[in-house]
Structure formats: C-alpha cells, structure tokens
Amino acid sequence: MENGFDASAPSPLEEASAARQSSPLRPLLEETLQSANRNAGRNVYLTLDADRVLAEAEQLERNTVGGPRPPLYGVPIAIKDCFDVAGYTTTCGVRVFADRNGVAAADSAVAGRLRRQGALVIGKTHLHPAAYGITGENPDYGDCLQPRDARLLTGGSSSGSAASVQEGSALAAIGTDTGGSVRVPAALCGIAGYRSSIGLGRGMWEGGVHLSASFDTIGWLFRDLRDGPALGSALFGLAREAPPAEARIAALPESFLHDCDPSVVDVYRLWKKELERAGARLRDFDPDFWSDSVEIFAPLQAQEAAALHAGHFHELEKTIAERLAWGASFPAAELQSLSRRRAAFTARMDRLLEENDFLIAPCSPMSELVAGADHSATRKRILRYTTPVSLAGMPAVALPGKGGGVQLAAARGGDALLLAFASRLRPPATPVKSPSEAGTRPQ
C-alpha cells in the first residue's frame, strides 16, 4: 500500500464478482437495495422496484446453473432514465414526458446488452430535465443532492447515476455525455467517469432518447479507475489493450485556469505529478483556439435539441424552453457556418492528438455546486472546459480527486487504450480541501 491506495487489493468490480461466485445473490442484493435513495431528496432513482430486482436475481441464478456465468453476473447497475427498461416508464426527467411515453414494452439496446452480460438493473436514475443541463436541478422530480453531503448538487445531467455510485446502490451506472454530463458529475461527486468516442456503439441508442445526436455519447460512472477496461468491454465489446510505457500528454496550461477554484488547480497539479510518476511526458499546448468552443457548440447543440422537441418547448422548464427557442431561431446559412467551424476545430484537436497520446484538463472550474445557489452562470463556465472534447467527439476518462476531477482525453476511437492507461493510475496522494472546507465559496 502506498499513499493509502492498495493496488494489490481487488477492485470494486473484482470484489463484487468474487462475492457473487461464492454466495447467493439475494442477500447481496438486499444489502445493496438498502443503500438506494439515500440522498436527502430520496430521488437518486426515479424508478426502482426492489421486488422485481430480487426476482430477476433469482431468475439469473436459475438460468446459469451448471453453466458459465457472464462477466457482470449479479453486479448491480443503474441506468440513466433516458433509456428504456421493459416494464418501466422513461421520464427523461420530465413528468409530461413520462405521461406521454407510458410503460416501455422492451429493453433499450443498452439495458439488453447489460442483461446479456449478467448485470442486474437496480433502477432508472434521476437526470436534469431532458438531459439538457449540467447541475442536476430538476423542478419536476426535485434537485439531485449528493448522498454524502446534502448541501451539494451532484451535477448533471447524469445526476442520479453519479449519486447511485456514490451511495453504493450501484457498482457502476450508465450515463450520457453530450457537453460534459458524465465528466462533470463524476468530478463533483469524487468518482470516476468515462465518455465514449462519438459513434462508438451508435446502435446502442435504440430505445434511448437523444438530446443532440451528433454530440451524444454513452458512458459509465464508477468507483475505481481499475474497473474501466472491464466496463468498456462489457458495454461496447472493447478489446483489452496495453497502454504506452511513456505516454505523451498535452496539458492545458494553468494560464487557462484563471476561473478555477484553488482546489481544482491543486488537484490538476497532483494528477499531473501522478502522470509523470507513471512515466508520462507532459507538455503544455496552446489553447487559444479553445476560446471558440462554446460559441460553436452551444448553438449546434441547441438547434439539434430544438428539432427533437419541436412543438413541445412549453412542456419544459423556462430556461430550457428558452434555450430550445434560441436553437430553433438559427438560419440555415449560420448553421452551415458553425458546422464548418466545428470541422476546423475538430481538425486542430485531431492534430493535437496525433502529436500526443492523451490530453489532460480539469473537468470543471468549480469543485462543488451548492444547492439553492444561483447557478445561472454555471453552465457557461463549465462548458468552457468540457466542450473542446465534445466538439471533437473524443473519449475521456474523469480522474477522481477530492476537490475536483480531471479529464484525460484520447483521439477518437482510442477508448480501449485510454481506459487501459487510466486503469494503471492511482488517485492523488494528498487530500485537497474543497472550497467550503477551506472557508471559500465557489463563484
């Protein structure tokens, strides 16, 4: 053991799998279910049926008697409530949508894949309305507060998925990431996250509800970086790859971090030291072209979301409805210009990742979002850090830390290599105080 991290100990997934090989599933699941919805709002899950979960566990045991057990046998997994699960209603975090959608007759591709891998779907998790927000605030189902600290929001839009992992009711949870919706809640909740390359598992969106199809990706929230490769394999069939011995990493220079909480900067420095300890060679890159990322991303995302929700803007809360109306207002010529700028931005990111194996940057400039505070400016501040990776469609892993998370990105299609490299890293050794612990408040 070094710095409180025992690399020789089994990972959470390894430990859970070993327990399920030698013990009946029911008592393990009963213990897991007792951890569910432990946040102050009791809304980590928007749908959870404990009796059904236990019945499915018994059926899984019967189906595997005397035969091989799949990789995620009996492992509790939560699913963001924008994917169908047979017998449950898909709400997308909006009550009107729930009433209109009704009960799903079949599993989405995501849920079906997880079941074939042996996972037990614990329930469907809270999300920002229509997955169109970064805080986890929701006027229909209540704001999603962190199970470990009721003062703080989880972040979003994969809010309940992050909370389910933090509280221990799920070993891992499905999330989606369009402009940061896996990376940000992972960072704010102190857990790991993975957003896939754009287009990876595109068929997995069957039975899922998009926000912005050309930007939407599916991913995981989970506890331990060592489990990333196994989770990537289970969901996408990714092969296991050997990471580079001396990775070349492009680092966002600290001059860009002028709006970050001090704790975020501290965690970023600690992760850079860990990467150097692991043999990586880091060099700062020129981020001047990143200044355009939000200006390109936000209108294109809004236009796609507006097309998806045409005729239903009024059913969504005011901020989102106004954003959709804005997205619907762009003339074709302006959208074409933005698409050309997106292509040029992506080309520059591609060149950066041709010269380097990975890229590192903070996930968010703030390390916590205080519940009840004014977050009208929060989304724009966070998108400054998340949209460059989103525009380029690149995979990213959120490296956890107390005081803020860091994103490690790779070239499109480099998911397996990224997950393998991240799995070899250990968390920063020195605890970092959050703004509230240090006596300061996020702006």
Cα gap 421→277, rounded to integer Å: 13
CB neighbour list of residue 404: distance below 8 Å, 6 or more residues apart: 187, 260, 261, 263, 264, 266, 267, 268, 362, 363, 364, 366, 367, 432
- 111 pLDDT more than 70: yes
pLDDT at residue number 86: 98
Q: What CATH number belongs to 12-438? A: 3.90.1300.10
Burial class (CB in 10 A: 0-12, 13-18, 19+), 218: buried
**Half-sphere exposure of residue 89, counting CA atoms within 13 Å on the CB side?**
13
- 8 pLDDT more than 90: no
How many other CB atoms sit within 10 Å of the CB of residue 41?
Answer: 17
How many other CB atoms sit within 10 Å of the CB of residue 15?
Answer: 13
- 431 pLDDT more than 90: no
Q: Of the ranges 1-10, 178-187, 217-226, 230-239, which one carries the lowest mean pLDDT score?
A: 1-10
**pLDDT digit string (tens) for 23-82?**
999 999 999 999 999 999 999 999 999 999 999 999 999 999 988 999 999 999 999 999
- 123 pLDDT more than 50: yes
Annotated domain spans of the chain: 12-438
pLDDT at residue number 443: 35
The mean pLDDT of 246-252, rounded to a whole number, is 98
**pLDDT digit string (tens) for 170-217?**
999 999 999 999 999 999 999 999 999 999 988 999 999 999 999 999
The mean pLDDT of 344-367, rounded to a whole number, is 98
* 8-state DSSP, 208: B
DSSP string, 352-415: HHHH-SEEEEES-S-S--BTTS--TTHHHHHHHHHHHHHHHT--EEEEP-TT--EEEE--TT-H
CB neighbour list of residue 352: distance below 8 Å, 6 or more residues apart: 250, 285, 359
Closest CA to 158 of 92, 215, 105, 99: 92
**Percent of the residues in the chain that have a pLDDT greater than 70, as a whole number:** 95
| Average pLDDT of the chain, as a whole number | 95
Cα gap 348→68, rounded to integer Å: 47
- 2 pLDDT more than 80: no
How many other CB atoms sit within 10 Å of the CB of residue 81?
Answer: 29
- Tell me the pLDDT band of 434, cut-offs 50, 70 and 90: low
Sign (positive or negative) of CA dihedral 225, 249, 253, 256: negative
- pTM (2 d.p.): 0.95
pLDDT at residue number 3: 46
- Helix (H) / strand (E) element for 268: namely helix 262-277
- Write b or e for each residue in 355-390: b if 16 or more Cβ atoms lie within 10 A of its Cβ, otherwise e: ebbbbbbbbbbbbbbebeeebeebbebbbbbbbbbb
Burial class (CB in 10 A: 0-12, 13-18, 19+), 411: buried
The mean pLDDT of 135-164, rounded to a whole number, is 98
- The answer to whether 90 and 46 are in contact (CB under 8 A) is no
- 4 pLDDT more than 60: no
The two three-digit tokens of residue 293, written as one number: 């990322």
How many other CB atoms sit within 10 Å of the CB of residue 206?
Answer: 14
pLDDT at residue number 437: 53
In angstroms, the first-to-last Cα distance of the chain is: 37
**pLDDT digit string (tens) for 259-293?**
999 999 999 999 999 999 999 999 999 999 999 99
Cα gap 63→322, rounded to integer Å: 50
- Amino acid present at 381: R
Closest CA to 57 of 36, 77, 83: 77
- Tell me the pLDDT band of 167, cut-offs 50, 70 and 90: very high
